[in-house]
Structure 1
């Protein structure tokens, strides 16, 4: 399969993957809806429809026999974004069926790359690049990736990471 360039790569593969979508998240900050973050920081309740489209996608993919997993690398103390993620974003993803794991490297850990990426069906790699403030600076379909490296990283971090509910004691 081929996909168009840029952001369209990611959109394409999020629809087209057949078995597995695996995400490695190494950054401490990603841009989110400023209103949502402000509501969270103001102590307002989480809106009932928060991330509904994403949760619907996760559920539909599961019904279709697909699985989605990710490992999020974190360091304490958590910044505002990570607290928002832990309280509002991840619980809904997990409830929808995503296998979301946390790798806390506050007290050390393996030498990990800081390159975020998706690995689709163990064959397709899409890099996600970010500016310091968490805004996307680029999305790139990796041509001829060293799949053994990406698969090996996944195997390593999945073993070291803790399922989200276990991490938060839920």
Structure 2
């Protein structure tokens, strides 16, 4: 049996779209850039060239061949320090080709949402991401994959409902 494609390989295999729904108020708070930004927001560049960050380089690569990458973030207001950090860095994601929107949690009460953050590749494969309570990747397995039609449909529908209500990055100002 062949090994499952890695996270990076999933992007390289994507032909049309990859959408990501984030629903936590904090991730990977141990990340050194976040720690530096927390001490002095000016210490972390807002706009970074794609070649300086592997993620940005990958996004530039796949969006330049026509794959649409959309990211929607559901968050509590006022925004957590970690989400302020992500907002600070989002211009780099956009410059690399991602389209990013923000949706305050109070505007999601009537939406059916899956229990975990996810990526949906080409409307056919869902990759759920699992985190610990403090936002680190789960040591018990940080991902779960599904191509079950009902799971794909749930995630597609949830993402599109969020996307419809969410505010484009350029228009959202944290408070």
Q: TM-score, normalised by structure 2?
A: 0.82
SS at match of 1:135: coil
Displacement of 1:70: 1.0
1:16 aligns with 2:1: no
C-alpha distance in 2 between matches for 1:168 and 1:78: 10
Match of 2:31 in 1: 34
Q: 1:141 aligns with which of 139, 145, 159?
A: 145
- For structure 2, list consecutive stretches of 5 or more residues without a partner in the other structure: none
Runs of 4+ in 1 over 6 A off after TM superposition: none
Displacement of 1:33: 5.3
The root-mean-square deviation of aligned C-alpha atoms, in Å, is 2.4
Match of 2:123 in 1: 122
Aligned length: 165
Q: Which moved more, 1:32-41 or 1:19-28?
A: 32-41
Q: 2:156 aligns with which of 148, 151, 159?
A: 151
- For structure 1, list consecutive stretches of 5 or more residues without a partner in the other structure: none
C-alpha distance in 2 between matches for 1:85 and 1:14: 21
C-alpha distance in 1 between matches for 2:108 and 2:60: 35
SS at match of 1:29: coil
| CA offset digits 1:40-80 (Å, max 9, x no partner) | 11214324568622222211112211110011001112222
1:97 aligns with 2:97: yes
Match of 2:173 in 1: 168
Q: TM-score, normalised by structure 1?
A: 0.84
